[in-house]
Amino acid sequence: MISRRGVLASAVGVTAVAALTACSPEVTNLSSTPTPTEPATATPVAVCKTSDIPVGSGKKFDVDGVQILITQPRADEFRGFSAICTHAGYVMNNVANSEIKCDNHGARYSAEDGSVLSGPAPRALGKVNVIVEGDQILVSF
């Protein structure tokens, strides 16, 4: 015969496991995220025109299977970052008011330097090299 204490302990254990499972990070294939030791493209690749990125905003691009964001935090200053949220691997494309926002869990990053403005993101976004040649924006990483 099972005691009331045993039933309650089992119920608490099952509830804890369910809660932890619901809070676990989403699994996303991050193999396309560039790492410092394995550059995806060492040769600069043209991704867009400078006029395609409004001041204070940005856009997402796929460069050789790598999701990146190009931002223009101030006039004629362009920055590049990984578009993969450092919290749960969600691909982001929401850039406004010089902030990059993850629509999945609400993390916010600076469009200036990729630093975390608010969590749950644990670290800054990876940087992508941006080169402006005339009206073309090129990237390498």
Tens digits of pLDDT across the chain (141 residues): 444 444 344 444 444 444 444 444 444 444 344 444 345 567 899 999 999 999 999 999 999 999 999 999 999 999 999 999 999 999 999 999 999 999 999 999 999 999 999 989 999 999 999 999 999 999 998
Domain membership flag for residue 19: no
Alpha carbons 107 and 11: distance in angstroms, whole number: 33
Domain membership flag for residue 12: no
Tokens (6 digits) for 14 = 């099952």
CATH of the domain at 103: 2.102.10.10
pTM over 0.85? The answer is no
127-133: strand order across its sheet: 45-49, 136-140, 127-133, 77-82, 66-74, 58-63
Residue 80, classed as helix, strand or coil, is strand
Domain membership flag for residue 14: no
In 12-121, where do the E strands start and end?
A: 45-49, 58-63, 66-74, 77-82, 94-96, 99-101, 108-110, 116-118
Task: Read off the pLDDT of residues 119-128 as tens digits, 9 standing for 90 and up.
Answer: 899 999 999 9
Range of the domain at 78: 28-140
Domain membership flag for residue 88: yes
Domain membership flag for residue 16: no
* Domains contained in the chain, number: 1
